[in-house]
Structure formats: structure tokens, C-alpha cells
Amino acid sequence: MRKLCPNLDREDGLETVLEVPVPEEMFTKMGNNAAVRWRNMHALMKAAAAATFATGGGDRSSAAAPQNHHLQSKSDNEFVALLKIVGSPLIPFQVPLECCLSRPINDSSIEASTAKYIVQQYVAACGGPAALNGVKSMYAVGQVKMHGSEMQLGEAEATATAGRPAKGGSAFEVGGFVLWQKNPNLWFLELVVSGFKISAGSDGKVAWNQSSAQPSHAHRGPPRPLRRFFQGLDPRCTASLFLDAVCIGEQSVNGEDCFVLKLETPSDVLKAQCSPNTEVMHHSVWGYFSQRTGLLVKFGDTKLVQVKSLRSSNNHKNNNNGVFWETSVESVIEDYRFIDAVNIGHGGRTVTTLNRYGGAVNHRRRIEETWRIEEVDFNICGLSLESFLPPSDMKNHQDGGDR
């Protein structure tokens, strides 16, 4: 991955460290020669018209921009919205820091007791309580490769065409990300994909996101952890999350027999995430733990949101209007490796399916992301609370709520 940008003003000047390292493949697509690529990289670093890359000697015109539909989206704003849904979703719960990473199984149901025992095996497989509790902060660099379908009419047609790039379109969108974390509710993410940059974070009081194309805003409800941490990056948070789960059975994942643990979001937590014209109906989380290794090999969640029409929002007697958005995300986690005695997942694949119900027709869209972790480090010196401050222009009240 590219980590340095040469000084374009002075040949003998020091190189600049990129805030977000970018994959070689993304750098190659930034222009048809090295000089143009570095100019475009420099423009991206200065947040100048992200995704408007120069080709040859001049900038790409806006008239030519629609030729490349990122993730089969119809506009840059739609692509950024998809990037936020796929790249920086949150889990529905706040995760407390559990020092013991285990709980007594007395006075628990068989399903809950089984889940606690499975979590204990997972903690042992990831390095044990001492190693996990020794992690006070972390840093990770990774790269992603995404592709998706258009918004299809009907479930059957979308299933048949999901994941295929459109004719004449780019098969994959390539990018990189940087993650910083001090505890489950103190984190910061920067993600750059195909020249578009989004940021997200939490200062322990509020979770937020922003992009170069859209204003920053706060998520409703208390701050929550980033979903990406539960894709093999943070075993301690994962263990703390599933201590309250129940075991609902067994299932095979890529030939690996797994125990399935499930969590349902309480109604009061869902209510805190609602807005006047959106209602979060339910949000369920699943973890698939290998019976052979004890490791988490698949992490999934499904969220259903009702977006009410203006008429139904003003008329409380009619709550059947509006549409429903169901977001299902499944991440398969692979390539576990020990870093400083902690077992971390270094790669995997995430499939996000968006379903829209209601109105005249139903729609479905599918986006796949392949991700790989390039660097991980723990207990970062100098990582303070100021590193996680939200943007100064953050919008505290959303009209549309979280989706």
C-alpha cells in the first residue's frame, strides 16, 4: 500500500505521510502516468473535489463522470451513502468493558449458559484474559475491494443479478482505511474508496460520520462501537458483547461446524435510535463460533427500519404508510494470526443486502466487500481524548435518522 506522497512543490522536500494509505491498485487508477497520479493524490490529501481525478493533463469533466458508476450508484451522493452503510455501520449496543470476560452460569437458562461457555472458549482461543485485558488501545490499517448490484426490482431478479458489474462499469472499487481505538466507545475511522473519503468516530459521548460530499452529523442514541471491530479485530469487545447472548443451535460455515449465538436489541435501546419519521423495528446480531478452534468465523446482523411518510407522521392513526428498509450484513472472518499474543482476523468478506419494501414496488441491492488487514498494533503511545473529537460542523439532529 502507498503510504508516502512526494513533495510536489520542492524536489528536495520531505515526503508527506498519507493519513490513509491507499492500495497500489487504487493509485494506478488515479491517472495514466505517475505525475498525474501524484497530483491527484495531492488533491485528495487536500480534500479538493474528491473523486474528480485528472486524466492526462486536465481534470475529468462532470459530463464524463457518469461513465463510471461506483457500486452501480446513480450519483456521487448515492455512492457516498452506500459507502457509509457498507463501510462504517455501528452495532446496536453499547459494549461495557468486561475485565473478567466471563460470568457465572448459575441461575441461567441452558441457552444462556451454553453461550457463556462458548465465549470462554473464544477468549482462550484469542489469547486468554490476560492478553486481551492488556490491550488498552489499537491501530489498524487495511484495504478493501467492493462491488455491487444495481437497485433491482423484486427479490428474485436481484438475487439472480446481484454482484455483477454493469456493462462498461468498473468491476471493483478499491480503497484503504485506518482505524484507531481506545475503548469500545472511543474510536475513529478514515476510509477512502475510489477517491471518495468518509470519516466516522465516537468521542464517548456521541457517534458521528462525515464525508467530503455531505455534511457531518451525529447518530441518534448513545455512542456505539463500529461494526468493523467485531470482524476479528477486537476479541475483547466481541467477548463482552456475546456474554449476554443465547445459543440457538449449530450451523456449518464454509465446512466449519459452528455454534450460533444470538442477541436481540431491547426495545428501549431501539427507541433511542428512532427519529420523528423513522422507527427502528428490530436489530438482531449473530455470532458463529467454530466448534473446532473456538474462533469467531462469521458475524451477522439484520436491521429493519420503517421510514414513515409525511402523512403518517402527522396522522398518528395511520401508521401503515411509508416504506421499510431491511439491511442484512454477514461477515466471514479468516486468516487469524497472533499479534502480541492476541489472535486477530486478518481478512474476510462482507456481504450487505439492502431490501426496500412498501410503496409501488420492492427493491433489492447487494454489495460485497473483500477486506484485508495490513497492519495492527496495540497500546499506542500519545493516543489521547483529543484524537477522537467530532467535527466542529457536526449536525446534531438528523432528518432521516440512521439507516
User: For 58-80, how does the pLDDT look when each residue is reduced to its tens digit (9 = 90+)?
Assistant: 333 333 333 456 777 777 788 88
Q: Is the pLDDT of residue 214 over 50?
A: yes
What does the pLDDT read at residue 167?
A: 43
Say whether both 158 and 60 belong to one domain. no
d(CA 307, CA 400): 8
pLDDT of 195 higher than 90: no
CA distance 94 to 109: 23
Asked whether residue 398 carries a pLDDT value surpassing 60, the answer given is: no
pLDDT for the residue 392: 80
Residue 194's pLDDT is 82
Given the C-alpha cell 482476523, which residue does it identify?
345
Q: Please identify which residue in the block is written with the cell numbers 433491482.
A: 152
pLDDT at 102: 76
**Would you say 266 and 248 are in contact if contact means Cβ atoms under 8 Å apart?**
no
Q: Residue 77 domain-assigned?
A: no
Q: Indicate whether 76 belongs to any domain.
A: no
The total domain count for the chain is 2
What confidence score (pLDDT) does residue 311 get?
A: 61
Out of 38, 67, 96, pick the residue that ends a domain. 67
Enter the C-alpha cell of residue 365: 441491492
pLDDT of amino acid 66: 38
Share of the chain above pLDDT 70, in %: 72
Task: Decide which of 174 and 395 is more confident.
Answer: 174
Report d(CA 365, CA 356) in Å as an integer: 9
Residues 15 and 114 in one domain: no
Query: Is residue 282 scored above 60 in pLDDT?
Result: yes
Please classify residue 307 by burial: count the beta carbons closer than 10 Å to its beta carbon, then call 0-12 exposed, 13-18 middle and 19+ buried: buried
Instruction: Report d(CA 389, CA 201) in Å as an integer.
Output: 8
Q: Which amino acid is at 333?
A: I
Same domain, 177 and 218: yes
For residues 327-342, give the mean pLDDT: 97
Indicate if 45 and 96 belong to the same structural domain: no
Whether residue 16 has pLDDT greater than 90: no
Same domain, 111 and 241: yes
Q: Cα Rg for the chain, rounded, in angstroms?
A: 22
Query: What distance in Å separates the CA atoms of residue 96 and residue 32, rounded to the nearest whole number?
Result: 49
Residues 334 and 363 both lie in one domain: yes
In the numeric block, the cell 437497485 is attached to: 151
How many other C-beta atoms can be found within 10 angstroms of the C-beta atom of residue 107?
7
Q: Do 362 and 223 share a domain, yes or no?
A: yes
The Cα 12–Cα 9 span in angstroms is 9
Mean pLDDT, residues 308-334 taken together: 76
**Are 324 and 381 contained in the same domain?**
yes
Residue that has been written with the C-alpha cell 410503496 in this structure? 359
Whole-angstrom distance, CA of residue 302 vs CA of residue 245:
16
Q: How far is CA 263 from CA 241, 278, 289, in A?
A: 9, 22, 14
Q: Does 402 or 35 have the greater pLDDT score? A: 35
Domain that holds residue 11: 2-67
Domain boundary among 23, 42, 67: 67
125 in the same domain as 246 = yes
Q: Smallest Cα–Cα separation from 162: which of 176, 150, 174, 170?
A: 150
Does the pLDDT value for residue 3 go beyond 60?
A: yes
- Residue 394: inside a domain: no
Task: Please check whether residues 59 and 97 belong to one and the same domain.
Answer: no
Check whether 28 has a pLDDT greater than 80.
no
pLDDT value of residue 41: 64
DSSP conformational letter for 329: E
pLDDT of residue 362: 82
Is residue 148 situated within a structural domain?
yes
Whether residues 159 and 306 share a domain: the answer is yes
Q: Is residue 297 part of a domain?
A: yes
Residue 403 falls inside a structural domain: no
DSSP 8-state assignment for residue 395: B
Q: Are the beta carbons of 305 and 401 closer than 8 angstroms?
A: yes
pLDDT score of 369 more than 90: yes
Query: Do residues 26 and 175 make contact, with C-beta atoms less than 8 angstroms apart?
Result: yes
Residue 400 has pLDDT above 60, yes or no: no
Average model confidence (pLDDT) across the chain: 81
Are 57 and 102 in the same domain? no
Question: Burial letters for 371-384: b for 16+ Cβ neighbours within 10 Å, e otherwise?
Answer: bbbeebebeeeebe
In this predicted model, what pLDDT tens digit does every residue of 121-174 receive, in sequence order? 999 999 999 999 999 999 999 999 999 877 676 654 444 344 444 444 446 889
- Confidence at residue 99, expressed as pLDDT on a 0 to 100 scale: 66
More confident residue, 359 or 86: 86
Please indicate, yes or no, if residue 202 is contained in any of the structural domains. Answer: yes
In a domain, 73, yes or no: no
With residue 114 as reference, give the H or E element that holds it: helix 110-125
